[in-house]
Structure 1
Amino acid sequence: MSSIGKTTTLLSGLAIGLAISAVPVSGASAADFYKGKRISVVVGSSPGGGFDTYARLVAKHMGDHLPGNPKFIVRNMPGAGSIISANYVYNVAPQDGTVLGAPQRGAPFEQILGNKGPKFDPIKFQWIGSLNNEAGIVKTWHSSPVKTMEDAFKTSVIMGSSGPNDSEVYPALMNNTIGTKFKIISGYPSSTAIDLAIERGEVSGESHSFSSAIQGHPDWKQKYNFLVQLSLKKHPKIPNVPMIFDYLDAKHVVPGVTVEEAKTYWRLMLTQKVMGRPYVMGPGVPAKRVKLVRTAFNAMVKDTSFLASAKKQNRDIVVVTGEEIQDMIKTVAAAPRHIINKLKGFIRYKGKKVKVTIKLAKHTGKVTKTKRGGRRIYIMYKGKEVKAKVSGSRTKVTLNGKKAKRKAIKPGMTCTFTYLKAGTEAQSVACK
């Protein structure tokens, strides 16, 4: 169910006051601009994960609500917890309103923390809105000896990480503030890859969003142990899973950190959960075009067709406006520097970090059909039809050893898919 969420009550610990300013209605020239245009949605993570899924919902539906009905295309630009894509949107992308950034929610906070890599000012970004106020979750596989949060204080557990994002910073913050024993293996390209690693037994768990944890897993209650919720408000679907604030007490907080300090660090970090799936435009985009895009975004989230698509993907829609996000970021950026400096140390994993070598599957068989100009290719493999998603820019496609377009692949050819698993985007498709 969609709602334009007012987040004042959730953020009272940070004393965030919302001041949504009225912007004049854009003129005809701004509206005419989008006719015949193509808008790129630049996603700061790999295909298949939660951010990518939400971005593709936007790309499918948002053009219906912009004057001129422009086409939207998705471009994945993963790396460094979305810092690469955020730098691109801020510094390189055209500042004309034809590029919409979809960074991971932690990216703007990396700059506020003073970390190397960000080449942008998150306050000067023009935030369009967020599709969800996310609840974070820490999960382990059903057979893991760590089945509850109390177990995590006694027994070490290996968690998969895809970079300096939820999968890494929250286990680190728990270790450093309340003494949990999470270990981290990094190098996974997405939450999809981590899920596969959990099923293979390479790692035992992950920290990410609840919506991502249950996507594609109707049996999630049987598959996973949910240890703790990382959010400012309890999620209604998991009322019996404890909140992180239940452990910010004298019993659990580590020596050298007071209970109030621990609560402050967690409130600051969980602010980004409120802007759970954010969208942004560069600082130079004309204000009238930003206003048009914000208006289209807010209309899209009320569209029954959009909501049906989100429901089909098992994705919650709880809208946070661009103006609200703008205020949140300003508030966090205004936090005392000594608090920010301490927090910066607490979200860094201090154990030995191991980087994984990703294991890719190879499936070979005859092509049974293709869809959408080769964007989906199906083969028969061991008596079953399996599918690969084929990107026009990231998937290497060859035909008889020579580079080819995906649309050149036809039924009857024999192809080898190299990918994480059936149904995911292929790294390569080699056909003959």
Structure 2
Amino acid sequence: MSFRMCGILEFPVEREGAAYMSMWQGQLAGARNWQEYRGALHTYREDGPAFARLPDLSEDMAGRGIPGLKAYTGVATYSALVDPHSSKRPKWDQVELLVRICAEHRREPDAEAVVADWAAAYHRCGGDPGPRFPAPDPAPAPTPAPAPAAPGDTPSAASTVWGNRRIRFAAVAVVVLTLAGLGIRGIVGPGGGEGTDTADAKGGTSSPGASPSGTGAAGSADKGPLFLTSSWPTLQDCDGATSVAMPAGGPPLTSFLAQNVDFRKDVTAKGGATWGAGHLYLTLSAEAGKTVVIQGIRPATPRPTPIGPPAWIALTQGGCGDAYNRVFEYDLDQAVLTDKGVDRKPPPGEKPANAKPLGSGFTVSADDPAVIRVDVTACQGNYEWGLFVDYVHAGQSYRRQLGPFRSMGVRGKDTVDYAPDPETRLYGKAGGPPQSAVLCP
């Protein structure tokens, strides 16, 4: 099996061995509260349609006669729905609507089963999705403890040690899934998790600098009203050109090929990087009834942090048009972030992007969100980096930190290039001379 993207690029799927549990499935299986649930929903939507398309798609989905579904025409509704920082119970009809839209976009073979999985997790977190989704049967009673061992039957020291290790491994797995559900991905490797809100010095509390991991300090108690979701590293809707790489010590490429989806986001979420160019989308909105001023977007550190070369690179072969956006360009080699404005005229029927300079004139709200695309390039080095989004509400200044992300442009002596075979489209070691990183000379 294989997955074709935009009619240009295929990703092979291997079904041998243990079943592969994708990132969102792992997060959903471990979700025990609404932050974790929303975190899984955030991950699932990343491979769905662009936020700007959701209102129209919701009207189409709601018109199919599915009981209880209605259209939601505000982009901010979906941005708030997938906010992994929110501990509020989401509305089930919004969850079902978004899951059905994304399942159709992802070509899920059994959309009803996917919706049922989300409903079961909704029950588990304390919600009720309604009579169409009854609560799952209670878990079976725990197995009674074994009778005391007879003399001579005491477990060996070796078996006791391995039993304890199994318990520890299970605990680690739960912790990783729980933190992933909260959008904290540094546990398994940098990959572009959500940032934190902190009031800066203007508001009377200290403003954190970027920590080595890029996660910053914990959010302040008076968390700002900005809703911010991000998507990295591919262009929305259609991208056959963005390539990815993995630093030494990361998972092998084969571990990402057992899934029927574009593997590039999973690579970057598990410590990987873009190869040459990557694309970070920021969807900015605010709580209902509030307006936020976006004061600026800037690098989290004066210069990106150098990192080692990639162990492997997965090259893609193809490409298709990018979308209409407000665009920033971040040249990591020069450590320069540039506001390029709006890159083209809007397509017919699409709302024009906000072309105003960041500052007092650039505002977002639930009814007037904004999408910004940051095109990031690395040609002369390998880097880890992050961004700050500075914003103001009601005279209080806040800062949201995003990252860390990784971008690479220079091979090491042991770097292995992989590329899809022109005929079979299966990945193998690339032949011929090494290719320059994407969008690099």
TM-score when normalising by structure 2: 0.26
Higher-helix-fraction structure: 1
TM-score when normalising by structure 1: 0.27
Structure ID, larger Rg:
2
